[in-house]
Structures are given as structure tokens and as C-alpha cells.
Amino acid sequence: MPRAMPFFFAPWCFLCYAYRNGRCGRGETMAMGRKIRDFFCGAQEARAGALVSVTVGALSKPVGYLRTLMLAWLFGASAGMDAFYVSMGILSLLCQIVQNVTESALLPRLVRQETGADAAALMARVFRLALIGALLSAALAAVFPAALVAFFARHFEPLRQVMAARMLVMLIPWGVAWIVLPFLGVWNNFNGRYSLSVSLAVLGHALLIPAIWAASFFWGVYAVPAMYSLVVALLAWGTFRVTGDFPWRAAGAAREEALRELRTDCLLCVGIVGASGLYLLVDRYFASGLPAGNISALSYAGLIYMLPQSVLAPALMIYLHRASALMDSPEASQAQLETVMCTGWLYLLPPAALMSALSRPLVRIFLGYGAFDAAAVDLTAPCVAAAAWSLPLMLWGQFLSRYAQAAGRLKTILSVSYGALGVNAFLDWMLAPRWGAPGLCVATGLTWGGSALVYAALLAPGALKRAARAVWKPSLAFALPCAALGPLRENGVAAVLAGGLLAAAYYLGGERLGFFDSVPPVWRPRALLKPARRRKRGK
């Protein structure tokens, strides 16, 4: 059992102590606090962990929105923010490699170990090697920041190159922390603590808002990388302390067979993440040749249209854990894959369609303040519309890639990833000169969609056919009224309210019309709302 850490659990304990002199006695409040602590720090059922993780992720989005709004209000789509996103993108390449290796290769191998001691020894060995690599990479970034920026953003003028080099050095603690955090998250998932890491991350990232705001008065745009590094480093330390049983120095040696298998998987994962990193850098390469503000517009747009998918991200890790355990039964694993494909599509379709149809009022309402002027809205909104439509297909691709990871078919992922990279580069080259930043987003959406269909054809063609038959009617039924919202685009509040009502009608009325028949009963909208209705009635 992980040890409790007062700093992170203080908000929950405070809510209990608030009733100290009311209906609850001290013993009851302490017991309630222990129950909450034990839930997050103890093993959870997959459904409970998924629901809590998705709920916590959804509740965290207002925090992320406020942070994005603050950055847009303070700095807009400026050269300084261009420099920040490029410098973060450079370090993110390494962080993505580590995250992909831990999720794609390490977690399935941990699940397959014969004993808990074998799993702990394997984790300790891999973590120490990753930490050494992180420190060497940090030294490289500290010594050659200007050369790295010049290589990845050669179209930057001197001012943006200098700013990006300084920010790259300031973000080194952020990069090291993000190399440590995936190991902690995988270990917690392996032990069934599905919602612990995401809950701590929400508390940690909430600190970014006051930290950046206060530091901006002294350091301007450089406050952004400085506070990102400080807060994420504190988050990594806090998560390590709360996890408690992380085997960073486990006794015993890892089995040679497990290490040999993991080395092969790691090499494939490095190649996979290399494709992902190159994918991002190709986009940034073509965007760096566009006028100032385009990279910031792409990043702001991504923060909006990726919101629904980011809420579901913890569920993807839980699916990988469960799929790894089911691989001995091909029929069960294929049935589970078909179920998650239908569920993910039917729930993600409304936000994806509404963001494409109402991109301008959404950007204006959520970001159009302070330095984020009308020109920034005009630049960002088409980017949202051009990419958001493909979110359900992107989610399919992510589920299918997790399925391939669980099955050990990393070579399939590698082949599809580099094929997608080539397609994306060609589309960027074709569309960026004609449509600018929105053209890059169109290329991204087409690449996501194509990759998902290729994955499905290679891994589970039967599941693809059955899932497509299950979702096409609900998709058409929602897309037609969604397209009718076009005349309301200039009336931002009315358009967003109408879109919200349409989505509510789809979720609640669609279940009665049979739209969610392919979804397990416990995951249908009304079943998910039952706990809230019971709480409202006092049951």
C-alpha cells in the first residue's frame, strides 16, 4: 500500500474536517478521509478506475482551459509563444520515446511476469537506465541549445531562435520530470491504482495557473517555461512519494529472458516514437515557414480539439492493461476491441462534430480575450475545424495500436507509423503553401483517419466491419442536425448552447432509439448517470 502524503491529500481531508462540528464526528470524518485515500492508493476494479479517471480528467479540463486562457490573454499568438512551443516540442521527442516504451513495451511485460518480485526487478532495471539517459540528454540540451533549435526550426528569424534556445535550457527540469512520470504511472496501473497518477497530475497542474501569473510580472514570457519546469518537477517528486512502493532500487536481478524480450520491444518502440516525433517536427518544419503566430495558432487549436481525447487518455492505459491480460483468448480480446471501438466512437462523435461545425464561436468564447485578438481567432478557428472531425478515427487508431501492443505486434505499429509519416509529409508539402496552418490540420486529420483504417484492416478486419455497421446510423443522425447549426456561427453563445442541447438529446434520446445498443449496458449514458441520480435523491 502506498504511503499517504498530507500535501496531496489535504484537500480531501479538509472537506471532511469542515463537518467536524456538524453532523459528522471526528471519527467518522477521519474514516471518510481514510476511505478516500485508500480508494486512490489501493487496487481498483477496471470499470471503477476508468470511471474515476475519466471523471477526474473531465473535471480537470476547466483547469487546463483557465491555463490556456491565461497564456492566450497574456501572450496571444506571439513570437515568444512560438519559441516556447518549439523548445517544448524538442524535449517532447525524448519524453514521448520514454512514455511510449513504458506503455507499449514495459507494461505488457510486467503483466506477463511470473511473480511480483520479477516485475519489480524488471521495473527497477529499466528505470535506472532511463534515468541515466535522461541526465545525458539534459546535459546535451544544456550545452548545445542553439544548435538544437537551429536544426529543428531553421526558418526562425534570429529573435525567435534566441528565445527558443533560452527556453530549451529552462525546460530541462520539465523534460527530466516527464521521463520519470511515465514509469510511476505504469507502476500504478500495473498495481491496479488506475486513477492515482491522473488525480495527482490534476492537483499538480492546477498550481501552474497562479505560478505563471505571478512570475509573468517579473520574467514576461520566460515565466512560462520556468514555471512549467518547477511545477512538473514538484509533481514528479510528489507522485514518487505517494506511490511509496515504486521499486527504484529493488532487490534481486531481472530475468535475462525478460530483459532480452524487452530490449527488442524497446528498439521497436524507439522507432515508433521516432516516427511520432518526426511527425510533429515535420508539421513544425512547414509551420515555421509561415508568418509569426501560426505555430501558436496550431498549438492553441490542438489544446481545444484534443480536449475530448485527453479526457479519455487514462482509459486507454486501463484498456492496454486489460487487453494484455486477455491475449491468451483471441475471441475475448477481439470482442473487447469491438466493444471499445463502438463505445469510443459513439461517445466522441458529438464533441468532434460540434467542434468542427462551431469552431469560430468556440475559439472566440474560450480564447478571445486580452492579447488573443480577432486576427488570432481567425487564424486558430479554421485549424480547429480542419482537425476536429477526425477525432473518432484517431481514437480508433489509438485503441487498435494498444491492441497491437498487447499482442506484441510492434512491427505492425512501426510500419504503419512510418507510412503515416510519409503521407503526412506529402500532404503538408501539398497543403501548407495553399491553406497555411489549416492545411497542416487537414493533413493531420487525413493521416489519423488513414492510419486507423490501415490498423483495423491489418489487426481486426472483422471488428472493423461490425463496428462500422453499429455506428454509421447514429453518426448520420447526429451529423445532419449538427450541419444545420451553421447559421448560428456568428452568435457565439446561442451556437454553443444549441450544440450542447443537441449533444444532450443525442446521448439521452439516442439510447432510447437504439444508438447505443452496441455498447455494454453498464457503459450506456443512463447507466453512467444512475449514481448522480441516486445521490440527488439521497439514496
**Span 119-165, pLDDT tens digits:** 888 888 788 888 888 888 888 888 888 888 888 777 788 888 888 89
Is residue 63 located within the same domain as residue 164? yes
User: Could you tell me which of 18, 29, 11, 402 has the C-alpha nearest to residue 199?
Assistant: 11
Is residue 97 located within the same domain as residue 231? yes
Residue 166 lies in a domain: yes
For 174, residues 6+ apart whose C-beta sits below 8 A from its C-beta are: 88, 91, 225, 228, 229, 232, 233
Domain end, chosen from 230, 253, 284, is at 284
Residue 21 lies in a domain: yes
Is residue 139 located within the same domain as residue 228? yes
Q: Which residue ranges in the chain fall short of pLDDT 50?
A: 1-25, 39
pTM of the model: 0.65
Integer-rounded Cα Rg, in Å, for the chain is 23
Is residue 12 located within the same domain as residue 113? no
Residue 384 lies in a domain: no
pLDDT for 52: 65
Is residue 1 located within the same domain as residue 143? no
Is residue 24 located within the same domain as residue 101? no
pLDDT in tens, 264-319: 777 777 777 667 767 777 877 787 777 777 777 888 888 788 877 777 766 665 66
Range of the domain at 25: 1-41
Q: DSSP of 149-192, one letter per residue? A: HHHH-TTS-HHHHHHHHHHHHHTHHHHHHHHHHHHHHHHHHHTT
Residue 171 lies in a domain: yes
**What span, in angstroms and rounded, lies between the C-alpha atoms of 368 and 161?**
27
Is residue 147 located within the same domain as residue 19? no
**How many domains does one find in the chain?**
2
Is residue 139 located within the same domain as residue 272? yes
**What span, in angstroms and rounded, lies between the C-alpha atoms of 496 and 492?**
6
pLDDT in tens, 180-198: 888 888 888 777 776 677 7
**What span, in angstroms and rounded, lies between the C-alpha atoms of 218 and 201?**
26
Residue 93 lies in a domain: yes
Is residue 111 located within the same domain as residue 171? yes
Is residue 142 located within the same domain as residue 183? yes
pLDDT for 206: 81
pLDDT for 169: 92
pLDDT for 23: 44
Residue 513 lies in a domain: no
Residue 328 lies in a domain: no
Q: Are 179 and 130 in contact (CB under 8 A)?
A: yes
pLDDT for 500: 87
User: Could you tell me which of 538, 478, 187 has the C-alpha nearest to residue 351?
Assistant: 478
Residue 97 lies in a domain: yes
Cell output for 21: 462540528
Is residue 252 located within the same domain as residue 123? yes
Domain end, chosen from 284, 313, 328, is at 284
Please give the C-alpha separations between residue 379 and each of 268, 439, 462, in angstroms, as whole numbers: 38, 12, 41
Domain end, chosen from 256, 284, 312, is at 284
Is residue 15 located within the same domain as residue 68? no
The percent of the chain in helix, strand and coil, each rounded to the nearest 5, is 85, 0, 15
